[in-house]
């Protein structure tokens, strides 16, 4: 048996042992479940329904967020009930469509690489508009539940030039002409 075939068989056996084997040719159950919860939770958040978001998405105590606005990552301890309520008021009246780019899973961890398309959402008092984010979510099993341990989002779904990326990497910011 070739090494590559042996590796494929070993990987399949590992997935089956981890209870992540595909059901009837579909995606693994846990990945499908977390994909649905992510979409439903973030759809609720785009409507400003923070209570529903928190019901669906359980944050781990060691959660980290790398916000689409950049800056220092934030951590689980800073997500007080007051901050969560404020976050719920930050978003209003939006819809969400989620596209899974890739998903990986083991018995205790799932990673989702997704595109979130928030439609007609009011963010931070700005007029309703579409926002598209590239997002990576990392979930970890805690007992029988899955907790979100990491979210990294950026607004670069449309792409930027090398020069724009270099300017951002240097910390240079350029406000749109209308904001100046």
In a domain, 47, yes or no: yes
Q: Is the pTM for the entire model greater than 0.85?
A: no
> Could you tell me what percent of the chain has a pLDDT over 70?
82
Specify which of 5-14, 17-26, 35-44 reaches the highest per-range mean pLDDT.
35-44
In a domain, 139, yes or no: yes
In a domain, 180, yes or no: no
In a domain, 90, yes or no: yes
CA distance 123 to 90: 6
In a domain, 176, yes or no: no
The CATH number given to whatever domain includes residue 48 is 3.10.450.50
CA distance 36 to 133: 17
In a domain, 55, yes or no: yes
CA distance 135 to 113: 6
| Residue 119 lies in domain | 3-171
| Domain tally, the chain | 1
* Average predicted confidence (pLDDT) for the chain: 85
The predicted structure's pLDDT at residue 104: 93
């Amino acid at each position: 048996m070739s090494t590559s075939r042996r590796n494929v068989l070993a990987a399949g056996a590992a997935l089956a042992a981890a209870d992540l084997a595909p059901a009837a040719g579909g995606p693994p159950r846990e990945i499908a479940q977390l994909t649905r919860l992510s979409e439903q939770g973030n759809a609720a958040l785009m409507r400003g329904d923070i209570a529903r978001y928190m019901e669906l998405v359980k944050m781990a105590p060691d959660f980290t967020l790398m916000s689409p606005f950049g800056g220092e990552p934030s951590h689980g301890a800073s997500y007080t009930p007051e901050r969560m309520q404020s976050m719920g008021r930050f978003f209003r009246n939006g819809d969400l469509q989620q596209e899974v780019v890739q998903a990986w899973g083991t018995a205790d961890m799932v990673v989702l690489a997704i595109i979130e398309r928030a439609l007609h959402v009011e963010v931070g008092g700005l007029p309703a508009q579409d926002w598209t984010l590239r997002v990576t979510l990392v979930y970890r099993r805690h007992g029988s539940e899955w907790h979100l341990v990491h979210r990294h989002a950026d607004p670069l779904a449309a792409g930027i030039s090398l020069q724009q990326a270099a300017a951002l990497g240097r910390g240079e910011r350029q406000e749109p002409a209308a904001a100046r």
